Structure formats: C-alpha cells, structure tokens
C-alpha cells in the first residue's frame, strides 16, 4: 500500500464538486453509489448540468428490454452530436493547431462552423446522406475536426482511421463498412519527412468500389489537385447546412480495433450515448471548462482522438492539436508546444513518458508549464518511477494525474480518478461515475487485495451498440463468460484503501509453472534499471514450465549490451517479482513494436519468437520494429 501524494483543494473549485453540491451529495463515494444505483437520475442530471442540447426531449433514460448487452439510452430523444460541439460563442477559440514544420493555425468556433458547413455541403451535393459511412484518414489537422463534425452534422457515420495505416488496412475497414466517401490529406510531416497519404488513400479506394468521393486537404501542397469524378479538394464555404435531427441511438461513428485473429472489430457508437458519457468525463474527470485548453497526444484512429474532440468541444473548451513526433526536431518539442499554446490539461501515455525521461529533467524544466492544472494518462499501466517523473517534473507536484482506462469498445472510461479525491502513484482512483465495475476471480466472484479480471455488471451510455454487422462476435467477445457481465480483458486489483490499479491485458498474461504474472510487473522492474529505456515481457511456450518468461529490452545510448547486464536484469526481475519468475531469456533489441499511441504490441514480440501469426499489425507506427525484435541479441 503506497501513500497519497496529491490531495484535492476545495471541491467547489471543480465541476464535479459543484455537481455534488447542486444535488446534495456529500462526497464522491456517495455520488458513485447513486450514479450506479439510479442511472436514470444521474445521467438525466448530467444532461441538464452540462446543458447538452436535445432537440426533442427523451422520454426514458435507460431501456434494457432487449437485455443488458443491447441496452439503449435516452429513448425518444433527438439531437445531433455536431450541434452540441458547436453550440458556443462564435468568437471563442475552438482549436489551435501546430504542424511539425512550425506552421500554426487557430480557429474560433465560428470559423470551425464555417469549415464544417463547407464540407457538409460538398458531401450532401455528392449524395452522402443519413447513415452513409465516411472514412476519415487524416493526420491531426484542423480539417480533421471539421470532417468529424461535418459527417455528423448531415447524419452520416464517420470511420476514424489511423493516419499511419498502409493501403490494405485502410481498404479493409472501408470495405467492411461499405463506405461511400473518404476524407484524407495529400500528406503530412513525420520526423521531418513528407508522408504521401494521398498515394495510400488512392491505392486503398481502388479496391473499394463503394467509395465514390475522396476529399483531399492540401497539407503539403506539393502539386495542384485536379478534381475528378472521385477526387475533389477541400471546399470553400458555400452555404449553411441544417443539422440532421437524429434519434438518440443513431450511429455516430464506427471505431475499428485490431484483433489477434480475424478481421478488425468495428465498434458502433451513437450520438447521444457517446456525447453524454464523454462530455461528462471531460467535465468531471479532467475538469474542463470554457477557458481550458486540452491536448491529448493521440491520433484520430485511436479512441482518444474522438474522445478529446468531444471532451473539449462539448464543454466549450479549446482543443490543441499537434501533427508530428513529440521529440522532433528537438527532444523538447512537446514541452515547448505545451508552453506556447498554454495547455491546461495534458494527456499522454506512460510509454511516451518513459521515452522522454532519458532526455533529462532540464527539458520540461526549461519551459513554462505553469498553465498545466490537470495531467491525464491512458493506454497501459504505469510503473512508479515514470509516474512520479510525470507528477513531479512535468506537473511540479501541483497537478492530479487523471489516470483513466477504458477502451474503443467501452466508448469511455471504466476507471478514473476525479479531482476531488486524494491520489496514490499509479492509481486509477476507482470506477468512473455511472460504471458498475468490479474485479472477479476465475470463478466469477468479486475479490479484493488480489489481481483479477476487470468486469462491468451494468450498462452505460457510451458502450458500443455491438460490432458492426457481427452481433454474434460482440456477444462472444464481451458477454459470454458470465451472464450479463462485460469482461474487458484487463487485469485489475483493489487495495485495502479502495484504490484501483491495472496490471496489463489479461490476454497478455504469462503463466509460469501455473503461476500467473502480468507483463507490466516485469516491465516495471526492468525499466527501473538505469540502463534500460524500454522493455517488453512475454510468455513463450515451454515444455517444462508451460510458459517461460522472455524479456526484450532497449538500453540507453552508450550502454554496453553485455552478459553481465543481462544477468543483472534477470536477477532484478527475480528479486522484484519472485525467484520462480526469473526470466529464461533477456534479449537486447534496437526497438520494440509500438502503436502510434505508444503502446507496446506484445503479441508481435511473442509472434516473432514463436513463429506464429501475429494477427493484425496495421496499427504499428513502424513495421520495421518487428524485424528489430527478430534481430534481438
């Protein structure tokens, strides 16, 4: 049990504290109980507190007549997600963007609205309508946000696609959704190089006959775009387009996740449920207000891309966007960006923090980060050293780390601290409001003080409305282990103080001689060694032990890859985790396979060692890292 290192101030200074005062709720624990026991009261109160604009009021908050897996929300109501995101003072800053090449643009809410109308009019004129699917394959540009809102405004369904995908990955997702249009850019900058996204897009749509329109943003402007039957440039404003009045359960977007086998899963999210849940999280977890600037280092193809657009704009805040790498052309680029744009709420992954730490404390310290008041994180479990560096060096010990966890299919957060509770290092606080989350053992019994499966036992507004055109796969993946219980695939634990912690994906679990081990525990020990920058731990089939623990490490610049260091690391794991978990192998590699949002893809590492199919690797930022693991020493 670790100590609390951050303590809240006056609850009245926070959104969630004001909400509690308005409803006569004594503390966060009571609020959580009421939000779970009486979801109709809670979510209706949230809608009114945040001023979420329904066109036609809903007659019922929650309907479970078709069963918990198929719950629906805000029945009878109509609204439009884009209308809620644009319903703010036209003169206020809606977004600020910085390109890797130093270009900076700022749009007010009024300017954003005009860009939304420009694209919406073009799409309508080309026959795109309610329910049609539209791919968004773009870097983080102002037009990316306008594209999301324009598609929603006309009632179509957007498909957020990772900007680093190759043509086959883009094509697969467009085909699965039978998309009728694609919005892309001619390219982007990544580590000083020009990336030709249009070439990828054109190759992808060549195999998708349903795509009749490709809209291109001239980011690089390397040549003149000639309009054709399919290819058109980003349009100028021509007219205002009315917001489509949509049922609460109308699909808003389909977010594809990469699986270990089979085609990617398309999680369906809807206008009302997604909007209400994520607006609430932005207001109550990251405490966003109209004078805040939110920056989450993400890509639109990761669920945090749509999340940050919704959390910021639905709450009338400013959204900050950055196009390129966080350490290019200098390792302090991220910190200079935060200072330059006076970011108040920052979101980042633990892996990215680990990658920035070796550059030293002086880099963040050399920039004015005093505007920061909330630090966010998600994507994977922390280890204590990097968490404290983020807290102390980046946040100056002033800012709570809102370490949240959810998922593409969750459409929100299962777990998150709130800025009215004290925080321990690495803790996720507890269940998010309205979330009936628990930790189960192998027999489906709630447990405390030990690691178990993270589950959810009641529906929530942001949950996926199933996997696109695959209801059977949806039930099998999430609801089949225990009746009416969502099994998320994460290991979690709750300590004696009621604080929650994550321990990695349960499908990444290593089982050595019958003993279960989360890879995050091993990796935490390894990266605490001064010679190690990054690490991945995987289980490899072993005739004697069932599985053997193999560790792959990236060492710091100038560190000798010696047998002595290998032995030191193996012993450190044995000392830190237990003698029975001493690694069978420690390998040095030049890089680890990671997604664009900096999550290590352990199944790719495991596949290299075992020679098995790694599944879908289209989310990798750099496919060559798989070969780096193959060449590990």
**Residue 259, both tokens:** 């699986």
pLDDT (tens digit, 9 = 90+) per residue, 187-234?
Answer: 999 999 999 999 999 999 999 999 999 999 999 987 656 667 899 999
User: Which residues on neighbouring strands pair with residue 492, listed in sequence order?
Assistant: 452, 502
**Residue 286, both tokens:** 């990251």
Does some domain include residue 518?
A: yes
Of 309, 336, 344, nearest in space to 94 by CA = 309
> Cα(200)–Cα(203) distance, rounded to whole angstroms?
5
Residue pair 593/604 in contact by the 8 Å Cβ criterion? yes
> Cα(158)–Cα(252) distance, rounded to whole angstroms?
7
pLDDT (tens digit, 9 = 90+) per residue, 558-606?
Answer: 999 999 999 999 999 888 777 778 999 999 999 999 876 677 888 889 8
- What's the pLDDT score for residue 73? 98
CATH number for the domain spanning 538: value is: 3.30.300.30
Question: What is 576-601 written as a DSSP string?
Answer: HH-GGG--SEEEE-S---BBTT--B-
> Cα(70)–Cα(134) distance, rounded to whole angstroms?
25
- What's the pLDDT score for residue 227? 67
User: Which residues on neighbouring strands pair with residue 100, listed in sequence order?
Assistant: none
Does some domain include residue 598?
A: yes
Please say if the pLDDT value at position 335 is more than 90.
Answer: yes
Please say if the pLDDT value at position 548 is more than 70.
Answer: yes
pLDDT (tens digit, 9 = 90+) per residue, 148-175?
Answer: 999 999 999 999 998 988 888 899 899 9
- What's the pLDDT score for residue 266? 95
pLDDT (tens digit, 9 = 90+) per residue, 351-388?
Answer: 889 889 989 999 999 999 999 999 999 987 888 899 99
Please say if the pLDDT value at position 1 is more than 70.
Answer: no
- What's the pLDDT score for residue 260? 46
Predicted confidence band at 607 (pLDDT cuts at 50, 70, 90)? confident
Work out the angle between the directed axes of helices 563-577 and 519-527 (0-180°, nearest 10).
130
Does some domain include residue 552?
A: yes
Place of tokens 């917001």: 243
> Cα(502)–Cα(488) distance, rounded to whole angstroms?
12
> Cα(581)–Cα(570) distance, rounded to whole angstroms?
9
Determine how β-strand 93-98 pairs with β-strand 72-75.
unpaired
Peptide bond into 628 cis (omega under 30): no
> Cα(525)–Cα(591) distance, rounded to whole angstroms?
18
> Cα(502)–Cα(378) distance, rounded to whole angstroms?
11
Does some domain include residue 399?
A: no
Question: Which residues have CB under 8 Å from 426's CB, separation 6+?
Answer: 2, 381, 382, 383, 384, 387, 403, 501
Backbone region of residue 331 per phi and psi (left: phi > 0; alpha: psi in -120 to 50; beta: other values)? alpha
- What's the pLDDT score for residue 572? 92
Please say if the pLDDT value at position 485 is more than 80.
Answer: yes
Question: Which residues have CB under 8 Å from 404's CB, separation 6+?
Answer: 281, 285, 376, 377, 378, 413, 415, 416, 417, 428, 432
Residue pair 465/249 in contact by the 8 Å Cβ criterion? yes
Place of tokens 């919005």: 183
624: containing domain:
509-630
Of 296, 289, 323, 135, nearest in space to 211 by CA = 135
Predicted confidence band at 525 (pLDDT cuts at 50, 70, 90)? confident
**Residue 573, both tokens:** 């794991």
Place of tokens 């679990």: 509
Please say if the pLDDT value at position 434 is more than 90.
Answer: yes
Please say if the pLDDT value at position 261 is more than 60.
Answer: no
Report percent pLDDT > 90 for the chain.
78
Q: Which residues of 550-576 are buried (b: 16+ CB within 10 A; e: fewer)?
A: bbbbbbeeebeeeeebbeebbebbeee
Peptide bond into 329 cis (omega under 30): yes
Does some domain include residue 442?
A: no
SS3 280: helix
Number of domains in the chain: 1
Place of tokens 């990671």: 594
Residue pair 298/377 in contact by the 8 Å Cβ criterion? no
> Cα(261)–Cα(615) distance, rounded to whole angstroms?
5
How buried is residue 59: exposed, middle or buried, by Cβ count under 10 Å (0-12/13-18/19+)?
A: exposed
Please say if the pLDDT value at position 516 is more than 70.
Answer: no
- CB atoms inside a 10 Å sphere around CB 133: 26
Please say if the pLDDT value at position 259 is more than 70.
Answer: no
User: Which residues on neighbouring strands pair with residue 482, listed in sequence order?
Assistant: 485
Place of tokens 């943003």: 217
Does some domain include residue 553?
A: yes
- What's the pLDDT score for residue 29? 97
Does some domain include residue 561?
A: yes
Mean confidence (pLDDT) of the chain: 93
SS3 content of the chain, % helix, strand, coil (to 5): 30, 25, 45
Does some domain include residue 360?
A: no
Question: What is 443-485 written as a DSSP string?
Answer: TS-B-SSS-EEEEE-S--TTS---BTT-HHHHHHHHTSSBTTB
Comparing 78 with 524, which gets the higher pLDDT? 78
């Amino acid at each position: 049990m670790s100590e609390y290192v951050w303590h809240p101030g006056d609850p009245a200074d926070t959104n969630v504290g004001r909400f509690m005062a308005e409803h006569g709720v004594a503390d966060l624990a009571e609020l959580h109980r009421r939000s779970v026991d009486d979801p109709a009261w809670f979510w209706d109160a949230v809608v009114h507190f945040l001023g979420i604009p329904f066109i036609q009021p809903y007659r019922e908050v929650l309907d479970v007549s078709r069963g918990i897996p198929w719950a629906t929300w805000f029945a009878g109501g109509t609204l439009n997600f884009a209308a809620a995101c644009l319903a703010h003072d036209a003169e206020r800053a809606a977004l600020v963007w910085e390109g890797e090449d130093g270009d900076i643009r700022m749009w007010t809410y009024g300017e954003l609205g005009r860009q939304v109308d420009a694209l919406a009019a073009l799409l309508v004129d080309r026959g795109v309508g309610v329910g049609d699917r539209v791919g968004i394959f773009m870097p983080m540009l102002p037009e990316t946000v306008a594209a999301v809102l324009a598609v929603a405004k006309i009632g179509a369904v957007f498909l957020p696609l990772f900007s680093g995908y190759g043509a086959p990955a883009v094509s697969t997702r467009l085909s699965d959704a039978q998309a009728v249009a694609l919005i892309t850019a001619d390219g982007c900058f990544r580590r000083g190089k020009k990336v030709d996204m249009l070439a990828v897009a054109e190759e992808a749509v060549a195999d998708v006959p349903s795509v009749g329109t490709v809209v291109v943003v001239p980011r690089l402007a390397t040549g003149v775009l000639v309009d054709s039957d399919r290819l058109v440039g980003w349009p100028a404003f021509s007219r205002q387009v009315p917001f489509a009045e949509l049922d609460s359960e109308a699909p808003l977007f389909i977010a594809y996740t990469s699986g270990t086998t089979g085609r990617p899963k398309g999680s369906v999210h809807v206008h009302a449920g997604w909007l209400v849940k994520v607006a609430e999280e932005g207001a109550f977890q990251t405490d966003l207000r109209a004078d805040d600037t939110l920056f989450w280092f993400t890509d639109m193809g990761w669920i945090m891309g749509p999340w940050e657009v919704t959390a910021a704009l639905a709450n009338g805040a400013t959204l900050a966007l950055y196009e390129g790498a966080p350490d290019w052309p200098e390792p302090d680029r991220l910190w200079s960006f935060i200072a330059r744009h006076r970011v108040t709420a920052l979101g980042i992954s633990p892996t990215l923090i680990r990658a920035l730490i070796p550059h030293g404390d002086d880099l963040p310290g050399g920039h004015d980060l005093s505007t920061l008041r909330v630090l966010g994180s998600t994507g994977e479990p922390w280890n204590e050293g990097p968490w404290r560096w983020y807290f102390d060096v980046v946040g100056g010990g002033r800012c709570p780390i809102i370490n949240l966890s959810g998922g593409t299919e969750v459409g929100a957060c299962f777990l998150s601290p709130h800025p009215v509770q004290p925080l321990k290092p690495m803790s996720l606080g507890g269940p998010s409001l309205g979330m009936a989350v628990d930790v189960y053992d192998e027999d489906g019994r709630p447990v405390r003080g030990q690691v178990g499966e993270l589950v959810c036992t009641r529906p929530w507004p942001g949950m996926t409305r199933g996997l696109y055109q695959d209801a059977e796969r949806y039930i099998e993946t999430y609801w089949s282990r225990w009746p009416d219980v969502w099994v998320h695939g994460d290991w979690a634990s709750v300590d004696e103080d009621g604080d929650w912690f994550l321990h990695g994906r349960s499908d990444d679990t290593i089982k050595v001689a019958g003993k279960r081990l989360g890879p995050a525990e091993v990796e935490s020990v390894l990266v605490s060694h001064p010679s190690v920058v990054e690490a991945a731990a995987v289980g490899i089939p072993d005739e004697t032990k069932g599985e053997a623990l193999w560790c792959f490490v990236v060492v710091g610049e100038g560190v000798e890859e010696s047998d002595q260091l290998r032995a030191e690391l193996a012993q450190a794991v044995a000392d830190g985790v237990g003698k029975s978990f001493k690694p069978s192998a420690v390998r040095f590699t030049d890089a680890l396979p990671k997604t664009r949002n900096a999550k290590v893809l352990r199944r790719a590492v495991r596949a290299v060692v075992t020679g098995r199919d790694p599944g879908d690797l289209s989310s990798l930022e750099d496919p060559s890292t798989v070969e780096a693991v193959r060449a590990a020493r």
